[in-house]
Amino acid sequence: MSASWPRQVIALEGRLRDCGNVLTLGVRPSFADYPPEDRRRILEADTVYYPSTFYADLLDACGKRIFPSYHTYKCVQDKIRQTALFQMLGIPHPRTGVFYGKDPVERIEEAFRFPLIAKIPRGSALGRGVFFVENRGQLEEYCRRARPAYIQEYLPIDRDIRVVVIGHRVVHAYWRVAAPGEYRTNLAAGGRVDLSSVPEEALRLARETARSCGWNDVGIDICRFESGFCVLEANMKYGRRGFREAGIDFGRMMERMIAEYEI
């Protein structure tokens, strides 16, 4: 452990492996699989960092403080839950419908016009599971592979903003610009990072969204559309390329935030 960081904390998932003041124990299938000393460390820790979706529920039930928050873990890669939360809280969000049942095509066509965006609602990331649907045949193909169907209005944009909120503040924000001929801005789908200034209105929307939803480690995707900004979705397992291109050492930043009790 680095001498400059006297406070050592416990993490389970490997997201903080580069932090000198963090002891990462890994995620075991059962709590009994941890050696006795590690079980003691977990139970006596003031905070357990990155406990995993499995242990987040259990530690929260035991009254243990975790980071990220229980609410953050509840929305990991779950677009349906996120959309319902945005709707309940009045957060601006593209018009979205969730359609259950074996044959939702006609109901979708009644509610949306082509082109539209269809997504795999749970478990997808990095732009995978996102489809640009232009006609009924493509919609039928999507509905055969996705249940329930998660449908959004198409917004003709070529860029969006990734705002990363950790703790209670924005730690980084940048534009993601889609590759030519590509409707997705995801960096994994060929998008590029643009470090041009991000409007304060977008940063404020990200902070308010994270606070309202109870999320304290999240990458919030926001786009400018018509007269304002709207939240596209939240990513709790965001990548670090945007940090690297801005010259930000993510591990060192997290070390400081832990040492200074920001998180």
Q: How confident is the model at residue 126 (pLDDT cuts 50, 70, 90)?
A: low
Three-state SS annotation for the chain: CCCCCCCCEEECCHHHCCCCCEEECCCCCCHHHCCHHHHHHHHHCCEEECCHHHHHHHHHHCCCEEECCHHHHHCCCEHHHHHHHHHHHCCCCCCEEEECCCCCHHHHHHHCCCCEEEECCECCCCCCCEEEECCHHHHHHHHHHCCCEEEEECCCCCEEEEEEEECCEEEEEEEEECCCCCCCCCHHHCCEEECCCCCHHHHHHHHHHHHHHCCCEEEEEEEEECCEEEEEEEECCCCCHHHHHCCCCHHHHHHHHHHCCCC
> 1 pLDDT exceeds 80?
no
Model pLDDT for residues 200-221, shown as the tens digit of each residue:
999 999 999 999 999 999 999 9
Structure confidence at residue 60 (pLDDT): 95
User: How much is the average pLDDT of 20-42?
Assistant: 97
User: How much is the average pLDDT of 86-107?
Assistant: 96
What's the mean pLDDT when you consider all of the chain?
94
Candidates 3.40.120.10, 3.30.1490.20, 3.30.70.2740, 3.50.50.60; CATH matching 95-153: 3.30.1490.20
Structure confidence at residue 75 (pLDDT): 94
| Structural domain boundaries in the chain | 9-67, 95-153, 159-259
Q: Which residues of 91-100 are buried (b: 16+ CB within 10 A; e: fewer)?
A: bebbebbebe
| pTM of the predicted structure, to 2 decimals | 0.93
Structure confidence at residue 8 (pLDDT): 73
Q: Which CATH superfamily is domain 159-259 in?
A: ATP-grasp fold, B domain (3.30.470.20)
> 5 pLDDT exceeds 60?
no
Q: What φ, ψ does residue 157 adopt, rounded to 5°?
A: -120, 155
Amino acid identity of residue 29, one-letter, is: P
28 — alpha (psi -120 to 50), left (phi > 0) or beta? beta
Model pLDDT for residues 127-138, shown as the tens digit of each residue:
578 999 999 999
